[in-house]
Amino acid sequence: MKKRTKWLISAGGTLLIIGAIGFYPTSENLDPSKWIKITLRDTINAPLRAVSELVGNVKLEKATEKKKYNGMPGIIKIRPLTGNFSKPGDSHVVYFSSGDTLVESIVVIKPPYVFSYELTKPSLPMKYAVYKARGEFDRSALDSNRTLTVWTYSFLNRNFISTFFVKSYIKNTHQFWMRDMLKATKEQIEKDYQAKRDSSKLKAAL
């Protein structure tokens, strides 16, 4: 009973703080270079061109479905909104297990190196602290058989008070989700690339 009471007090305090954030003026600095950032890197054992061709096969809703994250529900499906998510302006809706949604829109594509997208209209609790966010993948060839992926997330917090909550979310939740997504992407691409190579060798041998 005491544990439940403490939880209710804690939850109530959090809601009051979140509510207070909403009353402060929103600071919309539209320059992403000024937003709160986190950058992670990973190496995929496949050529840059192959990575660019195979990355579209990775199902985001499957990549972390068995993982649990503090304050982040799982992705259950993605539905096209505009276009097929292959060019700037295309968008889709991401649905979460909690019933929440958000919209992802492509901002920049420079094949096969840069892919940038923006997250807007979230119904997740983070909407009280974050106005919008951007993700950018920057890929480069380490050599003929390895590709370096640099993934940067930038968050536009609503005001100076929400900065604490955004940084806490990145530290306790988002960085772990990003690492798992990179790992799942790496494993899927390397698996598909190896299968493609094996198929080519088999055809050549026949």
Interval 19-48 mean pLDDT: 74
At residue 4, what are phi and psi to the nearest 5 degrees? -65, -40
Task: Tell me the domain boundaries of the chain.
Answer: 36-205
Fold of 36-205: Alpha-D-Glucose-1,6-Bisphosphate; Chain A, domain 4 (3.30.530)
pLDDT at 20 (0 to 100) = 44
Lookup: tokens for 156: 């536009």
Interval 78-93 mean pLDDT: 93
pLDDT at 62 (0 to 100) = 77
State the number of CA atoms in the 13 A half-sphere of 134 facing the CB. 19
Nearest to 100 by CA among 74, 118, 139: 74
Q: Helical H runs in the chain?
A: 2-23, 48-54, 60-63, 163-169, 175-205
Question: Is residue 22 very low, low, confident or very high in pLDDT (cuts 50, 70, 90)?
Answer: very low
pLDDT at 70 (0 to 100) = 83
pLDDT at 8 (0 to 100) = 45
pLDDT at 66 (0 to 100) = 75
pLDDT of 21 strictly over 80 = no
Written as one letter, the residue type at 26 is: T
Taking only the tens place, the pLDDT of each residue in 106-156 is 999 988 789 999 999 888 887 888 888 999 999 999 999 999 999 999 999
Question: Is residue 28 very low, low, confident or very high in pLDDT (cuts 50, 70, 90)?
Answer: low
